[in-house]
Copies of this chain bind each other. A is one copy, B any other.
Amino acid sequence: MARANLTRAVVTTAAAELADREGFEAITLSALARHFGVQTASLYSHVRDRSALLDSVHELALGELADRIAVAIGGRARRDALTALADAHRDYARQCPGRWAALQRPAAASTVRSDAAGRLVALTLAMLRGYRLPETELVHATRLLGATINGFLALEVNGSFGHREPSSDVSWQRALSALDTAFRSWPTEENH
């Protein structure tokens, strides 16, 4: 049997594909070993343990998402940029549900310091700066944005909207409108 010549990156990618195909919980060293035609224990040469592998998928997804967002918000501002950023998140969650699920677990310390995380934060801040919020409010706006987008997608992905009428697309539009309004009329520190 020819050697598979695995690397950490190859294993991570395969794990991501497996997750997209069969769900995040399906990421298993056994399944990956089967996929590569290799013994399970061999994977430990490339990956510290299962948890570290999941962290790798997390970071991979973070980078891919940042790439998509960078493309999406280019040349846009305000509501257009907000919509582009949010839709990039939503498209990613739909097209790569397993990778997206990896983003829901707490980020590893190394991931927080990663290039991918930095880019995502920078892009989000760039979008928000179009709304000219007070500098001290940017962090609150970022948190609201992340909460709304991730919260909506989490409910949508796990079927809480139940494929029921009206379509969740309309709800999504309403959510984006609400965010746009919130950012446009953000309260100053005096008036609460």
Contacts and interface: CB of A to CB of B under 8 A. Distances in A.
A76 to B, nearest CB: 18
Contacts of A186: 174
Interface in A146-192: 146-152, 154-155, 158-162, 166, 168, 170-171, 173-175, 177-179, 181-182, 185-187, 192
A171 B139 contact: yes
A158 to B, nearest CB: 4
A143 to B, nearest CB: 4
Interface of A: 104-107, 112, 136-137, 139-141, 143-144, 146-152, 154-155, 158-162, 166, 168, 170-171, 173-175, 177-179, 181-182, 185-187, 192
Contacts of A140: 166, 170-171, 174-175
Nearest to A187: B177
A155 B142 CA distance: 12
A144 B160 contact: no
A186 to B, nearest CB: 8
A144 B158 contact: no
Residue picked from A136, A158, A170, A178, most chain B C-beta under 10 Å? A178
